[in-house]
Amino acid sequence: VRPATLGDYQDRYRRTVSPLLGNKKLCDVSSRDIANWMKHLSTTGASTATVNGARQVLSMLLKAAEEYGHIDKNPAKFVSRHKKSFGEHTQVKQPWSQEEAQGVLVLSKGHHLELPLALATILGMRRSEILGLQWPDLDFPKGTLTVHRVRRDERTIDEEGHVSVVTVTYPPKSASSRRQIPMGSIVQAAVLAHRERQQEAGHFDDQGWVFATRTANPVSPSRLSRVFKGFLRENGIREIRFHDVRHTAVTLSLEAGVRIEVVSQMVGHSRIDTTKSIYAPVVQAINSEYTEKMDDYLGGT
């Protein structure tokens, strides 16, 4: 796995697995122990995603132990993932409505967040994909942009448990993430305005990063999120995470009638089932719309 993923696994192990199961012998860990451990994490305030993420790390460790002959079978196989309870608190925020998204696009005009917000709200691009853009990735004659790389924070943990974070550049993780996207008129206008601001500031480089500091260094993910959060507060906009803007794009595109196959390909999901599972409520609304329209079409006089 990539170093960033390894750092994430290490962090999950130190925070969730080691405190309760770290001193237990591999051969003594039972399915009941794992079920009780997951229940403990849940009752102490861990979200369903945190509990299942911890289970994933523990299961990988036990699978390796099984493969190396330290245990006869992986007891985590027999313990189901936690299911999210109704009304459970989560970091994921409700996507912006059509009116909220329109307001954000209007308020961001002329602001240095105009382009990042247009790319996330309209094209559904990930923060890492947005920050990985370089000017040659944008083809103005064709009106397209291509995702060639991502920039994300990478967390590493040394043997003493000290955490360090650096921003790294990688190729997209999957073939579906490496894609060409039609920009559309709103995004193209935001691109031109962004380029003009860079030119006026004197740090435009037609071979460099689209989102760069005055010293031509790429903008870090944490900085973009910090500026984004400040922009929302200053303008009285309902606060959501930057990644939730991507959710907004998918939700609104489905509501607008875009075929789910097109949406899935546009946002770089590897399988259409991923799109369906994440956005099940919206997809269900589409299914209802299908029945209503067929009733009207075939049942009307």
Q: How many CA atoms lie within 13 A of 4 on its CB side?
A: 13
What are 148-189's pLDDT values in tens digits? 999 998 877 777 777 788 888 989 888 888 999 999 999 999
Pick 160 or 63 by higher pLDDT.
63
What are 116-132's pLDDT values in tens digits? 999 999 999 999 999 99
Pick 192 or 7 by higher pLDDT.
192
Instruction: Assess contact for 90 and 51: CB atoms under 8 A.
Output: no
Query: Given a cut of 60, is residue 237 above it in pLDDT?
Result: yes
Instruction: Assess contact for 276 and 283: CB atoms under 8 A.
Output: yes
* Over residues 262-273, mean pLDDT: 89
CA distance 33 to 79: 10
pLDDT of residue 66: 95
3-state secondary structure the chain: CCHHHHHHHHHHHHHHHHHHHCCCCHHHCCHHHHHHHHHHHHHCCCCHHHHHHHHHHHHHHHHHHHHCCCCCCCHHHHCCCCCCCCCCCCCCCCCCCHHHHHHHHHHCCCCCCHHHHHHHHHHCCCHHHHHCCEHHHEECCCCEEECCCEEEEEEEECCCCCEEEEEEEECCCCCCCCCEEECHHHHHHHHHHHHHHHHHHCCCCCCCECCECCCCCECCHHHHHHHHHHHHHHCCCCCCCHHHHHHHHHHHHHHCCCCHHHHHHHCCCCCHHHHHHHCHHHHHHHHHHHHHHHHHHHHCC
Query: Given a cut of 70, is residue 85 above it in pLDDT?
Result: no
| Helix 114-123 × helix 184-201 angle, to 10° | 160
* Over residues 7-32, mean pLDDT: 92
